[in-house]
Amino acid sequence: MQPWLVATFHDPDGRLYAQITRSLPFLRQAFAGIAVRATDAADARAVEMLRANAVRVRIGDTGESVAGAKIGRARREALALAVDSGAEMALYSDFDRALHWAEFFPEEMLRAAAFLANHDFTIFGRTPRAFATHPRIQVDTEAIINRVFTTVSGQPWDITAGARGVRLRAAKSILAGCDDEFISTDATWPLHLMAQGGFSFGYLETEGMEFETADRYPDQVAAAGGETQWIAQLDADPRLWLGRLDAARVEVAAMLPYAKNGRR
């Protein structure tokens, strides 16, 4: 049984259009269906192309799907769209990550899609190499989130790559009982299921969850003199550190209610 691919999509500048064009044929073969929750500011050409290729697309407010805002609500709506479409299991990923995974590590993505049938809920993390490809603004702040998750859950997992495998019974529990609207769904979806009890969990490290953002900015990467130099520019911006620290605070705060009954 093939899973559905479930994703959120916000790309007002159309930077993902070419990558969608390249990756969509593979994704349509790899998954039983594709459900995308896009923002009302998402590139209209891309939305039209997705719909023309049998992708289920639901449009929502821009402010509800930008990282740091209510991306949790957008993720819930994407998952609900797949469930309403008849999906028995789904692989959720932010769309830019899914496209990078499909283009550069397609065989691994197929293995991951097959792996998620083994458990009610699967977290797809990153290998040490893949994690280290990210800027320090992510590596350092996401390490805090992952450490607190381990403290609360007892599981030493990388939860911040944003990719999940969800079988139907787990999806229904999340949609009915976990109303987190923020980026902290990274943590609260699995912690909610742990607190409910009776669900099985899997974890798989991937190479394909490596740093994908540079795919969208080849012009800036070239102007900086290469990806290493471009990443160094990101790490040199205090505003980006502040944004990542704010996201880490949101994630850690959302885990506090599970600190006792979420432990396994």
Digit-coded pLDDT (tens) for 10-54: 999 999 999 999 999 999 999 999 999 999 999 999 999 999 999
Q: State in words which class domain 4-131+155-216 has.
A: alpha beta
Pair 191, 180: CB distance under 8 Å: no
The pTM of the full predicted model, rounded to 2 decimals, is 0.92
Element (H, E) at 205: strand 201-206
Over the stretch 162-192, which tens digit does the pLDDT of each residue have? Answer: 899 999 999 999 999 999 999 999 999 999 9
Residues 28/56, Cβ–Cβ less than 8 Å: no
Total residue length of the chain: 264
